[in-house]
Amino acid sequence: MLQADAAPISVLDGIAQQSTLVEKAWERDESGLNAEGTGRFLYARQGLGEGDFTIRARITLARLDGSAAAFVIESSRFGFDGRSGTMFLEGPLFAGQSLTKKAPITARKDFLFEIKRRDNRTTFCIDGTEVHRTDAWKSSIKRIGLRPWRNHMTVAEFTLEGNLIEPPKPPAPLFLSGFAGGKDVYHTYRIPALAVTMRGTVLAICEGRKNSWGDSGDIDLVMKRSTDDGKTWSELKLIWDDAENTCGNPCLVADQETGSIFLLSTWNRGDDHEGEIIAQKGNDTRRVFVLRSDDDGLTWSKPQQITDDVKKPNWTWYATGPGGGIQLENGENKGRLVIPCDHIEAETKHYYSHVIYSDDHGSTWKLGGRTPLDQVNECEVVELRDGAMMLNMRNYNRDKRARQTAISRDGGISWSEQTHDAALIEPICQAAILRHRWPSAQQPGVVLFSNPASTQSRVKMTLRASFDDGKTWPKSLLLYAGSSAYSDLATLGNGNIACLFEAGVDNIAESIVFTQTSLDSLKTP
């Protein structure tokens, strides 16, 4: 047993003493602190400054099957169990370094992981055996922790010795300078989509509108990446440019089983306007495409058209998302990729929400069901704890100025129970919904929602939390009081909630804004 005065204690005999349980709580039993799944992090309350140090963690993993369980150092990770069954290194700390050894550990048996820095040489050891070393690491470490990711992890000991320092405070909202309209080749940036990859990379995608603020004309898809939970961002990257045509409505989904990321999008000729396409008087129609990245968004495939697979002949207007899709985590359709969409039917010109899906990790896409009632379109989808899915939809019925929802109990093949959610007021605008965590014996699940919370105008970008799968929304946080419109949500690798949204002044969304906050920041009004 480690004595309390031997070193600064993070976990002692399974009791957290100098640790921070980030967002998704760890459960305590006689073996230590336990957590399972993505988004659960155990951070030390303090960091380590320059000079020598020792970090010790006694860990047990339930299985060894490519789960990406790892030790977290700032925005870098030393992984015990990678996709190829070996240890792995990720992030700027390990730039240019590789590790492809099989970890000398056994499932369900504890092991001692140690990191020691002596005279600027750092060694990584498992049960006393050195498995990696580096001479490149000399600076302080402000964030130190563990994550089970897709595994079950038990932590019986977690200690730090060295020059202890206080960790940084959460950063203020960050305006992405490369997404500020009018400052480069694009007149306006709109329609944000946000995703966090299996490796923790944050992808922020939006439309780059060349010549105007409008929805038609020369529109490209552009992206920024962050490998440190949104602290810093890459330069603007062009993903899809089809001359003077419209490439838009980005909808992202990250396959957490394969690591691939899919970007669903719609296309139309730049000289066709929405009204012309709806009236079937355009030069062409709306078409549906998918782009794929297998390297965390560094490169993307050429757009592949899937229109014939997911659009009926009598549908005119069509939109993917915009925002985010999901991958089902439970039930008989586990692993299914689901993309929320909307369309207009030619005969009636009524507009509906629907979904498309893939059961083969994005190789092919199929058309799911549409809502039973019309007057809804742009939507996002969330998986519920009972195995159902819920669509949350933009509402055009102005008798009730609130979002509409619908339920599917067969993986998106059909939808029913369409109704209004009076708590989620809206001015007719896109919104985002996200499963932030699943329920456990110790805490309820959390579903998040973001939109401009007004019945009249696009202002007051607000983040809400539900602890009963969207039945009630008792907590909220005003992210931005001014003009704000479309948004998307994601859970970052550090456990925080990220929101990417349009913001500006005078009812014009001038910039794409990235901000992050903790669940604890949301309050009861």
pLDDT-derived band of residue 188, with 50, 70 and 90 as boundaries?
confident
pTM above 0.85, yes or no: no
Fold of 174-521: Neuraminidase (2.120.10)
Please give the radius of gyration of the chain, using alpha carbons only, rounded to the nearest integer: 24
Helices (H) and strands (E) in the chain, counts: 2, 40
At residue 355, does pLDDT exceed 70?
yes
Per-residue model confidence (pLDDT) at position 21: 41
Domain segments of the chain as ranges: 9-165, 174-521
Nearest of 132, 96, 101 to residue 116 by alpha carbon: 132
Which tens digits make up the pLDDT trace of 462-519?
999 999 999 999 999 999 887 789 999 999 999 999 999 988 643 445 678 899 999 9
Task: Give the three-class secondary structure for 309.
Answer: helix
pLDDT reported for residue 379: 98
CA 96, 97, 98, 104: dihedral to nearest 10 degrees? Answer: -170
Distances (CA, A) of 323 to 206, 338, 380: 9, 12, 7
Average of per-residue pLDDT values in the chain? 88
pLDDT level of residue 38 (50, 70, 90 thresholds): low
Contacts of 356 (CB under 8 A, 6+ apart): 264, 288, 310, 320, 338, 339, 341, 365, 366, 367, 368
The residue-averaged pLDDT of 186-195 equals: 89
What SS3 state is found at 278?
A: helix
Among 174, 210, 165, CA closest to 189: 210
CATH number of 9-165: 2.60.120.560
For residue 25, name the pLDDT band (cuts at 50, 70, 90): low
